[in-house]
Structures are given as structure tokens and as C-alpha cells.
Structure 1
Amino acid sequence: MPLFEHHLFLCTNERDESASRPSCLPHGSKKLKSAFKDAIKDAGLKHKVRANESGCLDQCEHGPVVVVYPEAVWYGKVHLRDVEEIVREHLVGGRPVERLRLSEACINSDRCPHRK
């Protein structure tokens, strides 16, 4: 079996409602994982792409968050309606979905204007 070409990490972190930052799980990230797995299989990519649950990716204000490696493309505010487009455009076509990409200014940075 060949190596995976892509790994998707989907944040499924859950914080208490009183936490200072939001979390991805209450925004449907578990359903996203199932939808990605189905779309990956339907696209014939089952042995080329792996969808994995992740703990906190520290992009809480942008959740649900998905990151695709090896390109390190970060997507935020991902909804079920976006799954097919990400699979078709990015994983099959090699073109990241720009409208869902997180700004580089927000990735791994305390200076993100959305961060609380």
C-alpha cells in the first residue's frame, strides 16, 4: 500500500462553556470528520488521504478548523457544505479553497485580530 499523500486534521476539542475561548466540537467537527471520510472514499482517495481527529489546534476563534498536510493549508469556519469542495478542489485538484483559508497572520500567532 502506498504512503498517504495527505493528512487532514480536524479539531474536535471541547472546552467548558465558561472558557474564555470557544471550541470546535460544539460547532460540528465530529460530523465533519464523518463527512470528510465519506467524501474521501467517494472520490477514490481512501488509501491516499487520511482524515484524523485532533485535539486543540489553537485556532479556536476560527472553528471548526481543518489543516491539510503536507501543504500546511489551514481552513477555518468549515461547515458540512464545504467538505465536497475541499475534497474536489484541494485533495483531487491540488488547489486550496481560498475562501476558507486562514490568514497566515492568524496561524501560530498571538497577533491574530480574531483571537480573544
Structure 2
Amino acid sequence: MSKPVTPSDPSIFYSCHIFVCCNRRPDGHRRGSCAAKGSEGLRDYMKARMKELQVPQSRVNSAGCMERCEFGPAMVIYPEGVWYRPATTEDVEEIIQTHILGGGRVARLMLTENDVLPPKA
């Protein structure tokens, strides 16, 4: 549950803050890992494109495990809190153009509350 913004809260530092999971587990791990699915290259591409496009007040960061490994590579964009699972640089480009620059969403790449694993028996 998110907390309401209050007048005493500081201004946000980045208007667009992107976290890309770059967690790496051992090869063959049952959950896999985003890094093994190519997230580091996707993060590097996104960082370079954001810099090239001179997107103001933005930052692309590496993140450790964000607990959505099975659906990865995983990325989340704040302040909206929208999760994506891009698999290619073309997917990342679509996220940049549609979400970050255009203010829309790329529904086919979104991770939602329905993308959770069933509880372990």
C-alpha cells in the first residue's frame, strides 16, 4: 500500500527512475535469473539510449533480485511503479518511446499482479 504524499515530503530527485534486475544466480538454478536472460545488455542499451535521447531527470540503475526472476528480465519504472519484462533491445526501445517519452504503456510487456508464482506446496 502506498503512502500519500505530504507537503513535507521532498521533491522527487528523478522524474524517471528505472531499475533493471541484474541479479545472477548459478547456472541451472530452478528460478533462473534476469542476468542469465540478458538483462545486463538490456540495461546497457537503455542507459545509452536515455543518454543519447537526453531524457531529463532520468536514471537507469542496476538492481539486485526483485523477486520476479521467473518472468524476467524484470524492470520497474518509477514514480509510476510499472513493471516490464523486455526480452530484446527492440522491447526496450518500445518502452522508452511509448512509456518514458510518450507517457503511455506497453501492455504486451507489462508484468502485473497476475504474474506471480503459485505458493509452494
For normalisation by structure 2, the TM-score amounts to 0.80
- List gaps (5 residues or longer) in structure 1: none
Count of equivalent residues: 109
Secondary structure class of the residue paired with 2:111:
coil
1:27-66 aligned at under 5 Å gives the runs 27-45=37-55, 47-66=56-75
Partner Cα distance (1:17, 1:101) in 2 = 26
1:7 and 2:17 aligned: yes
Partner Cα distance (2:41, 2:51) in 1 = 16
Secondary structure class of the residue paired with 2:104:
coil
Q: CA deviation at 1:42?
A: 2.2
Q: Which letter does structure 1 place at the counterpart of 2:51?
A: K
- Closer, same or farther in 2 for the Cα pair 1:77/1:3, shift >3 Å? closer
The structure with the larger Rg is: 2
Is 2:21–2:64's contact at 8 Å kept on the other side of the alignment? yes
Provide the alpha-carbon RMSD of the alignment. Answer: 2.0
Q: CA deviation at 1:50?
A: 0.5
Partner Cα distance (2:48, 2:24) in 1 = 23
- List gaps (5 residues or longer) in structure 2: 1-11
Identity among equivalent pairs (%): 38
2:3 is aligned to none
1:25 is aligned to 35
For normalisation by structure 1, the TM-score amounts to 0.83
Secondary structure class of the residue paired with 2:76:
strand
1:87 and 2:96 aligned: yes
